[in-house]
Each structure stands twice: as structure tokens, then as C-alpha cells.
Amino acid sequence: MTLFVNSLTVIDFSYLCNKRGAVGESWIVDLTLHGKLNEESMVLDFGLVKKQIKGIIDECIDHRLAVPNNINGSINEFADHKTLDCTFGENKHLAMSAPHQAFCLIDTDKITIESVTAYLVATILPQLPDNIEKIELALKPEHNQSFYYHYSHGLKKHDGNCQRIIHGHRSQIGISLGGISMPRLQKQWADKWQDIYLATSEDQISASELKHIIAKEDDVCFAYTATQGYFEMAISESRCDILPIDTTVECIAEYIAGQVKLQHPEKDVKITAYEGVGKGSISYA
């Protein structure tokens, strides 16, 4: 017997790539269960599917930084935190210190849809009832309706997992002037923020203030304490945009609206900023 749940959840996370650095990503999760009927004449109650399986996915990878085996650098583990130090691309640098739950270490050479799918299946199946014999997951990005960018960030004021300093999203962007969609401007912003780290200026510190990691000469550094613990990072300045705002989607939409308005003061500006799939904020200027 087969049971399926389409769009069970969306995984919003970042992953480490030896070429691109920290890449913000959002993947829709479709689930199929194969097994025998239980005493309730079900493979698994839909309520449990949505609660238990979604919970496992959220716990092991959502809003984390996924790291493969073959990074160009090192990971060190301590009692209350892990540290990461690596290079990527053309001698770009990234270092992070964060509580353990901010990391997702995956036994693979490269973070891909296929390697994450295998990791999730191996994690989920042992935690399900014995009547379930097999599970299948289909991970996929949202269908493109406009230009999009991959970004990573951290929200220190957030009570939940958004406080983790490197997690991210794959987000579409809509820009209109005077009620007319402007694909050219959408592409400009998508290109500007492709694989970017969006930082908040008030979180910036000097390299000498870092506690657990070491910055390189051209790095910018950030740190904050949130409810889950102490977070800090250093990243090559060219891979970071430091904004005078918190990097919530509401503030991002308002920031882009203000920047576009400066370029087109005579036009009514509308910005539709997304945070991953199916959610976001609209701002006018």
C-alpha cells in the first residue's frame, strides 16, 4: 500500500559548497510511504505524517548549515559549540562558531538534492512504525516565476531557529514601477545577491573581538548572543552585503523599495520579496 503527501514541508537551509561558499536554499518536500496497513487500516495517519516526519526533517536539517565531508578546511567540536574554517572559490574564506544544532554534517562529498535525500531517508525510516517498509522523498526548488537569488543570514532577535547565523533561502523577487513589472531590475537584484551573506550592521565586530575563530585579512566579522547560544562568523567581504537593518523579509522588502525609489523617484515602487517558498513581504515606496 502507498501513501503520499505532496508539499509536506519546505527545507530552508544553507549548504557549504567548495566553489560557491554558503548557499541559501529552499526545497519543497514531497513524501511517499510504502507499507502494510496498521490496526487502524492506515499506512500512517496523516496527522502523524505531518507532525512526526516533518518534525524529523525540521530537527535534522532545516535552518542549519549543511556541511559535506570534503570541505577545504576543518570542523572542530567542543562541549557547547562547533567551529568551521574553510576556503572556497578563488581563495574566499568562511569561518563560523555556533552551537551544535546550527550544523548538519552529511556523509557525502557534495551537498546535492540526491545526497540530502539519501541522508533524510536514512534518518527518517528507522524512526517510523514497523509496518512502513520504504519511504521516498522528492526534493525540488520552487518553479521560477521571476528571477531569484540564494542568500544566507541570521536573525539574532528570533526566538526560533532563524537565529542560527548561517541559514538561508532561495528567494524570488518581484519589482514593479508604476504598476508595470520590471524584469531588468529583478535580474539586477538577483545578480547582486546571488550566493550572498546578508548581514546586519549592528552585529559587526572587529576581528580581534572573535572568541573561537580567526579571521583573514579581507574578512568582515559578526557576532551575537541569542537564546540558543553564542554565534560568530567571518567571511570574505566580497561575499557579504552589510545592511543597516535586520535581515527579516519585511526589512529586506522595505530596504529594496527604498533603494529602487532612489533610482526612480518619479515612479511608484512595489517590491515583493520572498523568504523561500510561498511566503514573503510586500513594500511600497
| pLDDT over 90 at 41, yes or no | no
| pLDDT over 80 at 284, yes or no | yes
Supply 107's cell numbers: 556523509
Confidence of residue 132 (pLDDT cuts 50, 70, 90): confident
Supply 147's cell numbers: 528571477
Q: What is the mean pLDDT of the chain?
A: 95
| pLDDT over 80 at 40, yes or no | no
Q: How far apart are the first and last CA of the chain?
A: 54
pLDDT tens track for 159-195: 999 999 999 999 999 999 999 999 999 999 999 999 9
Supply 69's cell numbers: 565531508
pLDDT tens track for 183-231: 999 999 999 999 999 999 999 999 999 999 999 999 999 999 999 999 9
| pLDDT over 80 at 101, yes or no | yes
Confidence of residue 86 (pLDDT cuts 50, 70, 90): very high
Mean pLDDT, residues 17-29 taken together: 97
Could you tell me how far CA 22 lies from the centroid of its own chain?
9
Other beta carbons within 10 angstroms of residue 146's beta carbon come to 15
Beta-strand relationship, 269-274 and 167-177:
antiparallel
Q: What's the rounded Cα separation, in Å, for the pair 80 and 226?
A: 14
